[in-house]
Structure 1
Amino acid sequence: MRIACFDCFSGISGDMILGALLHAGVDPQAWRAALDQLQVPGYDIAISTVKKQGISAVSVEVKLHEADTGHGRHLSDIAEILERSQLPEKVRHRALAVFTRLANAEAKIHATTPEAIHFHEVGAVDAIVDIVGACIGLEMLGVEKVYCSPLPYNSGWVECAHGQMPVPAPATLELLSGFTLRFDPRNEELITPTGAAILAEFVERDAQGHVLGFPPLRLLNVGYGAGRRDTEQPNLLRLCLAEELTPADLERAGHTL
């Protein structure tokens, strides 16, 4: 079974996920062609190879033709964009599920309903591309299960549509229910709402909703997605593409669980 394991040593964001998927083997031309079926105008995608502390990675940047703040875009608007697209049903379903998680998290924080939520930053074109692009990339790689490492929990402040918010942003933290968190001393946003929502939708969980750690696996390929900031530590997301091993596989290899 093909699995994707996200090693989030420097956090996670939508664009870092896209870069890691492309670096791990997603064909850029086929991926762009699939995104074109979204039929959302007004943007270009810049894909480049960069280095962070000497480690080669892929950077993905969505460049808007005009500023798009996303004000006034609701969950129903996102659903309409996805429904009228030519994307496969599975991709549309998973992308809408990610946005629904975002709406539910925001609604809980602001004591309102998901339908009343204005998506602000996460409703902008670049976030739509990040979320749909991630769903497309995972599908192209044939990924059946997703796992992630413990996530960094730190402090600081981030500017958003509602003003300054503590890091992690309240909606981000709401999305991380069930995840294992580890303290990180860095004073900057390491996990974005988009990155958290994508993980929350895809990761494997136990019966209690706790996010599972990496299983025994056979490594197939590794991809690195670059964050935009240059930091003291490599601002990268590592994706391990692998085959999940069964007890029978381990027994044949001379190991037991």
Structure 2
Amino acid sequence: MRTLYFDCFSGISGDMVIGALIDAGADPVQMEEELKKLNIDEEYNLSWGKVVKNGITSTKFDVILTSKSEQTHEHSHSHGHEHNHSHVLHHNHGSRTYKQIVEAINEANFNESVTNRSLAIFKKIGEAEGHIHGLPLEKVHFHEVGAVDSIIDIIGAAILIDQLGIESVQSSAIPTGSGHIHIDHGIYPVPAPATLEILKGVPIASNDIRFELTTPTGAAIAAVLAETFGSLPAMTVESIGYGAGTKTFENHPNVLRIIIGEIQ
């Protein structure tokens, strides 16, 4: 069985997942074409390239928002408005509802496995955000994840995993980091409430890095896709990929490693 293992020794984020999948041999150009089905491609450009993190050559993936992107930092959870635009992701409130994202994924006509994986990951994040803010799923507005880059990270990861013919996913325990982060609502502890909520039932690994190692997007990708969490399973390794995070740490390579191979 063709299996993908997330080796999260430095946490996991959406861009690290895509970087690692590209690094392991997935085709980002085909992903870019598929993502055009969402009809928001004038809002972003994608870039990927090799970087070295503490001696490890890895792939850095970035979503660069264009000036046409309507994202703002004035996120709000209180809009109850319906948007009946032809492109369901086009509006100007600077945040996107869970419902709009689901509609957009369903209208894009991705193949079944890409659609199902994407919807499951968004639902995981939506339920976590709703739980924290005391809102039902259909009222949840994605601030962090509604941003174009997280839409790309989640659906892009689903496209690449499908493209690589992955039949099962496993993961290591997930380190979250520690300390504090600044988000829209103020100064929050790490892991952020949404990340911690998403990781319910997932083994969390301790480490003393005072930084947010795992984002809600990364946590949801691992929590939804991985069937089991633990050490590397017995497998015949076929390809390995390293996806770079944004930060660089003094004596710790900030990369996500993925290992793809056959489990007998």
1:130 is the counterpart of 2:153: yes
- After TM superposition, the runs of 4+ consecutive aligned structure 1 residues lying more than 3 A away are 69-72, 211-214
Name 1:58's counterpart in structure 2. Answer: 59
Shift of 1:72: 3.7
Paired AA for residue 48 in structure 2: I
Q: Which is worse superposed, 157-166 or 218-227? A: 157-166
In structure 2, C-alpha distance between the alignment counterparts of 1:177 and 1:213, rounded to whole Å: 19
CA offsets per residue over residues 101-148 of structure 1, 9 Å max, x none? Answer: 101111111222111111101111100000000000100111111111
In structure 2, C-alpha distance between the alignment counterparts of 1:96 and 1:222, rounded to whole Å: 27
In structure 1, C-alpha distance between the alignment counterparts of 2:102 and 2:176, rounded to whole Å: 32
Corresponding residue to 1:236 among 233, 252, 255? 255
SS, match of residue 38 in structure 2 = coil
In structure 2, C-alpha distance between the alignment counterparts of 1:134 and 1:235, rounded to whole Å: 19
In structure 1, C-alpha distance between the alignment counterparts of 2:30 and 2:149, rounded to whole Å: 19
Q: Which runs of 5+ in 1 are unaligned?
A: 206-210, 246-257
Q: 1:121–1:161: 8 Å Cα contact kept in structure 2?
A: no
Name 1:45's counterpart in structure 2. Answer: 46
SS, match of residue 105 in structure 1 = helix
Q: Which runs of 5+ in 2 are unaligned?
A: 76-93
In structure 2, C-alpha distance between the alignment counterparts of 1:167 and 1:91, rounded to whole Å: 30
Q: Which is worse superposed, 211-220 or 222-231? A: 211-220
Q: 1:204–1:212: 8 Å Cα contact kept in structure 2?
A: no
Q: TM-score, normalised by structure 2?
A: 0.87
Name 2:115's counterpart in structure 1. Answer: 92
Name 2:36's counterpart in structure 1. Answer: 36
Paired AA for residue 224 in structure 1: Y
Paired AA for residue 236 in structure 1: V
Paired AA for residue 51 in structure 1: V
Q: TM-score, normalised by structure 1?
A: 0.89
Q: 1:38–1:87: 8 Å Cα contact kept in structure 2?
A: no
Paired AA for residue 2 in structure 1: R
Corresponding residue to 1:151 among 158, 165, 174? 174
Q: Which is worse superposed, 70-79 or 115-124? A: 70-79
In structure 2, C-alpha distance between the alignment counterparts of 1:120 and 1:153, rounded to whole Å: 20
In structure 2, C-alpha distance between the alignment counterparts of 1:213 and 1:229, rounded to whole Å: 25
Shift of 1:215: 2.5
In structure 2, C-alpha distance between the alignment counterparts of 1:109 and 1:213, rounded to whole Å: 31
1:223 is the counterpart of 2:246: no
1:84 to 1:231, Cα distance in 2 relative to 1, 3 A: same
1:146 to 1:48, Cα distance in 2 relative to 1, 3 A: same
SS, match of residue 258 in structure 2 = strand
Shift of 1:242: 0.9
Shift of 1:45: 0.3
Name 2:7's counterpart in structure 1. Answer: 7
1:167 is the counterpart of 2:190: yes
Name 2:17's counterpart in structure 1. Answer: 17
Aligned length: 240
Name 1:193's counterpart in structure 2. Answer: 216
In structure 2, C-alpha distance between the alignment counterparts of 1:145 and 1:176, rounded to whole Å: 19
Paired AA for residue 110 in structure 2: L
**Identity score, percent:** 43
1:120 to 1:153, Cα distance in 2 relative to 1, 3 A: closer
